[in-house]
C-alpha cells in the first residue's frame, strides 16, 4: 500500500446496503480460493547449493496444508540463464537443473494433490530468454526471415539505421532496443526488449507464436497443473506501427521524468525506465488484441473439463474498468487487484478500493482477487511502516528512510485480517505469514535484480522481498538448506521470525494466519454477501460478511488514533490484543453475533 487509488473518487454504498451479493454455494474452487505464492529459489533448499529447489518445495508442502491454503503458485522454474530470476525462459518445457528435473516437478504436483493442494505455475509469454532456441535461430537468420518474425525486429532510424526504431525505454532502465550484428559482421536490425536486454519481446501477431504457447499450456496441463499465473499479461500486443511514446516514464510508482526520451533517441539517462502500469493511451501495454489471445487460452483450459484449470493475470492496468476486461467469462478467471495492494493505510481509500473493485468485477461476473505482497513489491510488513503519503518504493536500501518495524507489522496483520474476510479469492506471498519484513540493509554487492544494475543502484529493486525463508532459528541459513550460504543473505531479524519460533505460539503471526484461514473457510467468507456496517467512518473500515445460511461475521478495522468500543459479541479472531475489550488502533477484529 502506498498511494491513493483512483477508486477514492466513487461514492460509497450506504451502510447496510449490499455491496456484493453471495456467490453460489457450488461456485468453482478458484472463485474463493486462497493461493500461496512459492518463490522457488527462496523456499527450501534440499541439496545445499544455496538455492531453493523442487525437492525442497515438495518436502515442505505439509506446512502449507497445515497453514490452510487451497493452492500454491510457483514462480518460474524453467531452464533459464537467470538474468531476471527465471523470467527469462530458455525452455518452457523443461526444469532448470538448479531446481531439479521434470520427474521432480511431477512428484511435487502429485504430492500437492495428495495433500489437497492445487498447483499453478508461471507462464511468461511477453518475451523469452535470448538463449531460447528461437532467438538463436533469429540471430542466425537474415532480416525478413520467418525466424526473425517470431520477435519484434525492426530496421533502425537514421541514414545508416544507427538510431533505434522508436523511443521506448526498458522497464529495467536504459534503452528498450538493442542492435544486432549480422552474419556478415555489419551492424543490423534492432530487437525490442521492454525488460532486460536478454529478454527479447515476442511478436504475437505471428501465428506460430500463438500456437507454441497453446502447446505449452497443454504440456503442463497434461502433467497435472491446475492453472497459470500469466506474467505481464497486459503486454504481448503492441500498437500497430510501434509509435513513439512521450508519456510518463517511471517504474511502477517511481517517477523519473514527466516525459519520455526524445523522438528516436535513447532515454535521457541510464535511470529512465518505462512505466509498467498501463494507461489507455500507452502503445506498449493493454492493447485490445491481448483479449483474443486469452479467449483462445481459455478454450484450451476449458477443454480439460472439471475441476477448472485457471488463468490469473498479472496486469498493471488502469482504470479498473480496463482490468475487468481480462476476467470476462470467456477470458481469464482471476486478475490481481493491485489497486488494493497500492492503497495507502487510510480508511476512506481502503473502503473505496474495495467497493469499486467488487463493483467492476461483479459487472463481468468475476470474483475480485485480493493481494498485499508478492515477489515484485516491498513486503507489506515493511511498506505499511513507511510514510503513507509517499509513493510506494521499488525496494529499500540502507540509505533510504527505514520502516517502523513494529508499526508495519501491526498494520500488516490488520490489513491481512481485513483482506481474508473479503469475498473472492486471495493470494499470499511466502513468508508473510511469519511477518517477514523487507531486507532493507542488504549490501549492494549481493543485489541481483537487473533494475538495480541498469539504474546504477538508483532503484533498489526487488531483492529485498525475495530473501530465503527462515524455518529454524538455530540452523545454517535458518533452516533454508543444509548449506550455510543462501543465494541472497538473510537479515538477522529472520531468526526470531523462523517457523519453529512461531509454531504453536499464541499470538504469533503464523498462528494468526492459521486462525484466519480456518475461520475464513468455516464461515465461507470467500463466498459471502458484503455490506458496509454503520461503524464505518473516516478512521474505521467495518463490514458484515453474511454466508448463504444467514450467519454473519462483523469485521472491524480501526485505523484511527483512539481505541474503539466494540459491540457485545463473540470475538472470533483479532489481529492484535484488545484493550480492555476495545479495539486499538491498527487492529482488525472478526465478531460473530446475531445482533452485532
CA distance 125 to 230: 7
The answer to whether residue 314 is catalytic is yes
Question: Within a 10 A sphere around the Cβ of 339, how many other Cβ atoms?
Answer: 23
b/e sequence 470-496, b meaning 16+ C-beta within 10 Å: bbeeebebbbbbeeeebbbbbbeebbe
CA distance 98 to 114: 25
CA distance 484 to 45: 11
286-292 own/partner pairs: CB under 8 Å, 24+ apart: 286/234, 286/315, 286/317, 286/322, 287/236, 287/237, 287/238, 287/239, 288/237, 289/204, 289/236, 289/237, 290/204, 290/233, 290/234, 290/235, 290/236, 290/237, 290/326, 291/325, 291/326, 291/328, 291/331
The radius of gyration of the chain from alpha carbons, rounded to an integer in Å, stands at 24
Which one is catalytic: 231, 254, 286, 376?
231
The answer to whether residue 570 is catalytic is no
Contact 1, 32 (CB under 8 A): no
Which one is catalytic: 147, 226, 314, 331?
314
Contact 34, 69 (CB under 8 A): yes
Max CA distance (Å), the chain: 82
CA distance 365 to 368: 10
Closest by Cα among 379, 439, 381, 387 to 412: 381
Closest by Cα among 198, 194, 201 to 153: 201
Contact 393, 376 (CB under 8 A): no
CA atoms within 13 A on the CB side of 105: 27
Helix (H) or strand (E) holding 494: helix 493-496
| Residue labelled with grid coordinates 501477431 | 205
How far CA 14 is from CA of 351, 504, 535, 543, in Å, comes to 12, 41, 11, 11
Catalytically active residues are 231, 314
Amino acid at each position: 500500500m502506498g498511494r491513493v487509488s483512483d477508486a477514492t473518487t466513487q461514492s460509497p454504498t450506504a451502510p447496510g446496503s449490499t455491496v456484493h451479493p453471495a456467490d453460489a454455494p457450488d461456485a468453482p474452487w478458484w472463485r474463493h480460493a486462497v493461493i500461496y505464492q512459492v518463490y522457488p529459489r527462496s523456499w527450501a533448499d534440499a541439496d545445499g547449493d544455496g538455492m531453493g529447489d523442487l525437492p525442497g518445495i515438495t518436502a515442505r508442502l505439509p506446512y502449507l496444508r497445515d497453514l490452510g491454503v487451497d493452492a500454491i503458485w510457483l514462480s518460474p522454474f524453467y531452464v533459464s540463464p537467470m538474468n531476471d530470476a527465471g523470467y527469462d525462459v530458455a525452455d518452457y518445457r523443461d526444469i532448470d537443473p538448479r531446481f531439479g528435473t521434470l520427474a521432480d516437478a511431477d512428484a511435487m504436483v502429485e504430492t500437492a494433490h495428495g495433500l489437497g493442494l492445487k498447483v499453478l505455475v508461471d507462464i511468461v509469454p511477453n518475451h523469452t530468454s535470448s538463449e531460447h532456441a528461437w532467438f538463436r535461430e533469429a540471430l542466425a537468420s537474415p532480416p525478413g526471415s520467418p525466424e526473425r518474425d517470431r520477435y519484434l525486429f525492426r530496421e533502425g532510424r537514421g541514414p545508416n539505421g544507427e538510431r533505434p526504431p522508436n523511443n521506448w525505454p526498458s522497464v529495467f532502465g536504459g534503452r528498450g532496443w538493442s542492435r544486432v550484428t549480422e552474419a556478415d559482421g555489419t551492424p543490423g536490425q534492432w530487437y525490442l526488449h521492454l525488460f532486460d536486454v536478454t529478454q527479447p519481446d515476442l511478436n504475437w501477431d505471428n501465428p506460430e507464436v500463438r500456437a507454441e504457447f497453446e502447446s505449452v499450456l497443454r504440456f503442463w496441463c497434461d502433467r497435472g497443473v491446475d492453472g497459470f499465473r500469466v506474467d505481464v499479461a497486459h503486454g504481448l500486443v503492441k500498437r500497430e506501427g510501434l509509435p513513439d511514446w512521450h508519456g510518463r516514464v517511471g517504474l511502477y510508482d517511481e517517477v523519473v521524468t514527466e516525459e519520455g526520451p526524445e523522438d528516436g533517441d535513447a532515454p535521457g539517462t541510464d535511470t529512465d525506465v518505462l512505466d509498467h502500469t498501463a494507461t489507455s493511451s500507452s502503445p506498449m501495454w493493454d492493447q485490445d488484441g491481448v483479449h483474443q489471445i486469452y479467449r483462445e487460452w481459455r478454450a484450451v483450459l476449458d477443454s480439460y473439463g472439471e475441476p477448472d484449470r485457471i488463468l490469473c493475470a498479472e496486469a498493471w492496468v488502469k482504470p479498473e474498468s480496463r482490468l475487468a476486461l481480462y476476467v470476462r467469462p470467456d477470458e481469464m478467471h482471476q486478475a490481481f487487484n493491485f489497486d488494493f495492494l497500492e492503497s495507502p493505510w487510510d480508511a476512506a481509500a481502503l473502503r473505496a478500493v474495495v467497493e469499486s473493485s467488487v463493483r467492476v468485477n461483479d459487472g463481468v461476473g468475476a470474483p475480485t482477487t485480493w493481494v498485499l505482497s508478492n515477489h515484485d513489491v516491498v513486503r507489506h510488513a515493511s511498506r505499511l511502516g513507511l510514510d503513507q503519503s509517499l509513493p510506494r518504493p521499488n525496494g529499500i536500501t540502507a540509505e533510504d528512510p527505514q520502516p517502523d518495524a513494529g508499526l508495519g507489522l501491526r498494520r500488516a496483520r490488520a490489513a491481512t485480517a481485513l483482506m481474508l474476510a473479503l469475498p473472492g479469492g486471495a493470494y499470499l506471498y511466502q513468508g508473510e505469514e511469519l511477518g517477514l519484513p523487507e531486507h532493507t540493509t542488504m549490501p549492494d554487492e549481493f543485489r541481483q535484480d537487473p533494475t538495480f544494475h541498469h539504474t546504477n543502484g538508483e532503484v533498489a529493486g526487488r531483492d529485498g522481498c525475495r530473501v530465503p525463508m527462515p524455518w529454524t532459528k538455530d540452523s545454517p541459513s535458518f533452516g533454508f538448506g543444509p548449506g550455510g550460504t543462501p543465494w541472497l543473505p538473510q537479515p538477522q531479524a529472520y531468526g526470531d521470525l523462523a517457523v519453529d519460533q512461531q509454531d504453536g505460539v499464541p499470538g504469533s503471526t503464523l498462528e494468526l494466519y492459521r486462525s484466519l484461514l480456518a475461520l475464513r473457510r468455516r464461515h465461507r467468507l470467500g463466498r459471502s454477501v458484503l455490506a458496509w456496517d454503520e461503524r464505518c467512518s473516516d478512521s474505521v473500515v467495518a463490514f458484515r460478511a453474511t454466508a448463504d445460511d444467514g450467519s454473519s461475521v462483523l469485521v472491524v478495522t480501526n485505523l484511527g488514533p483512539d481505541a474503539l468500543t466494540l459491540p457485545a459479541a463473540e470475538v472470533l479472531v483479532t489481529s492484535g490484543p484488545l484493550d480492555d475489550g476495545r479495539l486499538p488502533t491498527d487492529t482488525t477484529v472478526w465478531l460473530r453475533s446475531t445482533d452485532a
